[in-house]
């Protein structure tokens, strides 16, 4: 986690850093800091808490200068505090870091034995001291950087500059994201694009194992062995406004409302609209001919998308599908071979556990396809093929549009493979592809229920627990609904398979336990009605999620969330919308920090 930012140019660097860090706060927000080179020395400001606390600490007289670095932190080593906030400094250097230095204890001991005093508990602080040590032995800053990174183990995206060369900022990357923003007479280093979009649209993405330097006029890149790398900037086409709230109270609500657009973008160019067949130019389908098994790997919400995809793939491709949590898969001895298709799902494309799972799967020769939102992210770059979800930047920590676009991409991929392998009839593929094209308007209809959901949310604001139940692919949506509620409202919630209640959890049911029941169609419709009866008989307050006009569910439920009528295929996507809205309104009415819930960060780039 953590966001890093660096700037060299004619503008007042304090303003550039503070405004840029606000756009990176989604990466972590337990402490922030900036270092500005001014009057021959670094002016360092660091504060526990969000950027507002830092701004208050700086006061009305912001340090004036033309080069500097900033950081917004999600703590890994050392509690959130002023001392542990970045930037960290030595006598002549300041540095910001995103990642974890795994061998920091050894380096620290060695430096301490040479008389170096540390002022924080962080792993990061070893880096400026190690570099300083090299400088004192006669190395240039550049030499010191190359020498130091050769000693570091772990993940790092760093930006560092020195008193001797204050208008040259260096960056180095291994396993944590970093980009360069290329302006006119000014240049930037950042963890992500929104932080620099006010200033430039020209971006260079650094790869693992690369070092870069920016000054006002130029940039250069080398590998860790100093071999020069030529890379031209790419033009970013996102609108700046896409990274802002556009009048919504929270990013999460804005992102829920963006779903019709996001889904349309995800479908765009991927359906042959004359024949109604999926057309995925980015996936080498012929290479999947001999595939006999699929493994879907992801974490959190992305894992829930994988669970839904398992139902689709087994039904339509008719081969065995397994779903794995990345953090478990990476430490097991999974049995894979070159005829296994591994599908990695990740909004950020930077989730450390999912990256490690890829590394684990690699030696088997399995083909890897990723479903990512962030373009050029590490998981996307490391896959054989990548399907981008095109959801646009997702800033709210709770994933919404990323989830439904992941499902849309997975549905397209399923149909494309099924068509290629002729595992279902062409007519069936055409029918479901046509259904997908109607998805944006179905979601639009779902959003009309927002005022109703807002009222219903009042019933849940004081409860202690909520149980979500579903069957089939709706079980995955029950899990997702429960995750969404607990992560932003801090109400304990669990997702359960309706049929499993009688094997234990039914003991929890009483009048104080609301049960959100997803009544999907298909073979388990009647079974879910029976599950509702079971919990009602024990006093539970049932909120039924069903299709419009379903009187059976209406009769049995105290609260109702009606979604437009749809097929079993699309239902999991459609019924996730009212659950997103419900979580949002419950959290909002409880006064929670919806976009930045406690203890969480948007991309989990540490283990």
- Closer CB to ligand F6R, residue 135 or residue 157? 157
- Closer CB to ligand F6R, residue 299 or residue 529? 299
Min CB(58)–ligand F6R separation in Å: 32
Min CB(353)–ligand F6R separation in Å: 8
Q: Could you give the angle at the alpha carbon of 139 between the alpha carbons of 137 and 144, nearest 5°?
A: 105
**Under 8 Å between Cβ of 396 and 594:** yes
Min CB(138)–ligand F6R separation in Å: 44
- Residue that is written with structure tokens 């790419």 in the block: 234
Q: Which two tokens stand for residue 244?
A: 């802002």
Min CB(168)–ligand F6R separation in Å: 33
369 forms beta bridges with 343, 385
Indicate the length of the chain as a whole number.
Answer: 607
Q: Which two tokens stand for residue 449?
A: 């229920």
| Catalytic residue list contains 2 | yes
Q: Which helix (H) or strand (E) holds 553?
A: helix 551-556
190 forms beta bridges with 5, 179
Complete DSSP assignment for 9-78: SSS-HHHHHHHHHHHHGGG--SEEEEEEEETTEEEEEEEESSHHHHHHHH-SSPPP-SEEEEEEE--SSS
Min CB(483)–ligand F6R separation in Å: 6
Closest-approach residue to ligand F6R (CB): 300
Rounded CA-CA distance 485/582 in Å is 8
- Closer CB to ligand F6R, residue 92 or residue 399? 399
Helix axes 571-589 and 401-421, enclosed angle (nearest 10): 170
- Closer CB to ligand F6R, residue 200 or residue 389? 389
Min CB(383)–ligand F6R separation in Å: 13
Burial class (CB in 10 A: 0-12, 13-18, 19+), 226: exposed
Measured torsion, CA atoms of residues 58, 64, 69, 75, in degrees rounded to the nearest 10: 0
Q: Which two tokens stand for residue 148?
A: 């130091």
- Closer CB to ligand F6R, residue 30 or residue 394? 394
Min CB(540)–ligand F6R separation in Å: 26
| Catalytic residue list contains 602 | yes
CB under 8 Å to 363, separation ≥6 — which residues? Answer: none
- Closer CB to ligand F6R, residue 172 or residue 477? 477
**Under 8 Å between Cβ of 27 and 76:** no
* 262 Rama sector, left if φ>0, alpha if ψ -120 to 50, beta otherwise: alpha
- Closer CB to ligand F6R, residue 201 or residue 381? 381
**Under 8 Å between Cβ of 117 and 126:** no
Cis peptide before 87 (omega within 30 of 0): yes
- Residue that is written with structure tokens 């160019």 in the block: 269
Measured from the Cβ of residue 200, the count of other Cβ atoms closer than 10 Å reads 19
- Closer CB to ligand F6R, residue 299 or residue 553? 299
Measured torsion, CA atoms of residues 195, 201, 205, 211, in degrees rounded to the nearest 10: -80
| Options 2, 134, 266, 446, the catalytic residue | 2
Binding site for ligand F6R (CB under 6 A): 299-302, 346-348, 351, 354, 398-399, 483, 487, 603-604
Q: Could you give the angle at the alpha carbon of 584 between the alpha carbons of 580 and 585, nearest 5°?
A: 120
Rounded CA-CA distance 93/72 in Å is 19
Min CB(362)–ligand F6R separation in Å: 18
- Closer CB to ligand F6R, residue 563 or residue 594? 594
**Under 8 Å between Cβ of 123 and 77:** yes
**Under 8 Å between Cβ of 295 and 336:** yes
Min CB(576)–ligand F6R separation in Å: 12
- Closer CB to ligand F6R, residue 347 or residue 531? 347
Helix axes 141-151 and 126-136, enclosed angle (nearest 10): 130
Min CB(327)–ligand F6R separation in Å: 10
Catalytic site residues? Answer: 2, 602
């Amino acid at each position: 986690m953590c966001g890093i930012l660096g700037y060299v140019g004619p503008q007042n660097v304090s303003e550039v850093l503070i405004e840029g860090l606000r756009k990176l706060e989604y990466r972590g927000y337990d402490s922030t800091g900036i270092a500005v080179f001014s009057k021959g020395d670094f002016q360092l400001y660091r504060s526990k808490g969000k950027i507002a606390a830092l701004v208050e600490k700086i006061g009305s007289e912001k340090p004036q200068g033309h080069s500097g670095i900033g950081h917004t932190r999600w703590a890994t080593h050392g509690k959130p505090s002023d001392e542990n906030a970045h930037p960290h400094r030595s006598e002549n250097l300041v540095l910001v870091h995103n990642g974890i230095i795994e061998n920091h204890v050894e380096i620290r001991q060695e430096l301490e034995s040479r008389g170096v005093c540390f002022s924080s508990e962080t792993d990061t602080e070893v880096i400026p001291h190690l570099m300083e040590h090299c400088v004192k032995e006669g190395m240039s800053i550049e030499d010191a950087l190359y020498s130091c990174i050769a000693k570091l183990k772990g993940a790092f995206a760093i930006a560092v500059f020195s008193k001797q060369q204050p208008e040259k900022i260096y960056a180095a990357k291994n396993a944590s994201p970093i980009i360069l923003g290329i302006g006119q007479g000014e240049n930037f280093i950042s963890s992500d694009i929104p932080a620099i979009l006010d200033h430039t649209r020209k971006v260079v993405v650094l790869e693992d194992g690369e070092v870069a330097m920016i000054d006002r006029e130029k940039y250069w890149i080398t590998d860790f062995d100093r071999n020069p790398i030529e890379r031209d900037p790419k033009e970013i086409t996102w609108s700046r406004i896409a990274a802002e709230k556009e009048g919504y109270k929270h990013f999460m609500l804005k992102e829920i409302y963006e779903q019709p657009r996001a889904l349309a973008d995800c479908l765009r160019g991927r359906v042959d609209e004359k024949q109604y067949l999926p057309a995925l130019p980015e996936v080498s389908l012929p290479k999947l001919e001999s595939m006999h098994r699929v493994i879907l790997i992801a974490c959190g919400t992305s894992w829930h998308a994988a669970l839904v995809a398992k139902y689709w793939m087994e039904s339509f491709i008719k081969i065995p599908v397994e779903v794995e949590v990345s953090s478990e898969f990476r430490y097991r001895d999974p049995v894979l071979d070159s005829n296994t298709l591994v599908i990695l799902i990740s909004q950020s494309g930077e989730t450390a556990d999912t990256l490690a799972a890829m590394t684990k799967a690699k030696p088997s020769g399995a083909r890897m396809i990723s479903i990512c939102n962030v373009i050029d992210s590490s998981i996307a770059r490391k896959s054989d093929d990548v399907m981008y979800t095109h959801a646009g930047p997702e800033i709210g920590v709770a994933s919404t549009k990323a989830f439904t676009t992941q499902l849309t991409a997975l549905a397209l991929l399923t149909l494309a493979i099924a068509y290629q392998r002729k595992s279902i009839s062409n007519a069936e593929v055409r029918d479901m592809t046509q259904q997908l094209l109607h998805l944006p308007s179905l979601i639009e209809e779902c959003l009309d229920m927002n005022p109703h959901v807002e009222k219903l949310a009042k019933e849940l604001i004081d409860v202690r627990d909520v149980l979500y139940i579903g069957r089939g692919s709706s079980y995955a949506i029950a899990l997702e609904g429960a995750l969404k509620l607990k992560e932003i409202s801090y109400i304990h919630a669990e997702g359960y398979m309706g049929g499993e209640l009688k094997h234990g959890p039914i003991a929890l049911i009483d009048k104080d336990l609301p049960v959100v029941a997803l009544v999907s169609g298909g073979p388990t419709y009647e079974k879910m009605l029976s599950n509702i009866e079971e919990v009602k008989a024990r006093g539970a307050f049932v909120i039924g999620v069903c299709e419009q006009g379903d009187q059976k569910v209406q009769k049995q439920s105290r609260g109702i969330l009606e979604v437009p009528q749809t097929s079993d295929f699309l239902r999991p996507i459609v019924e996730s919308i009212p659950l997103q809205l419900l979580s949002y309104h419950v959290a909002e009415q409880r006064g929670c920090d919806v976009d930045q819930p406690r203890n969480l960060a948007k991309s989990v780039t540490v283990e």
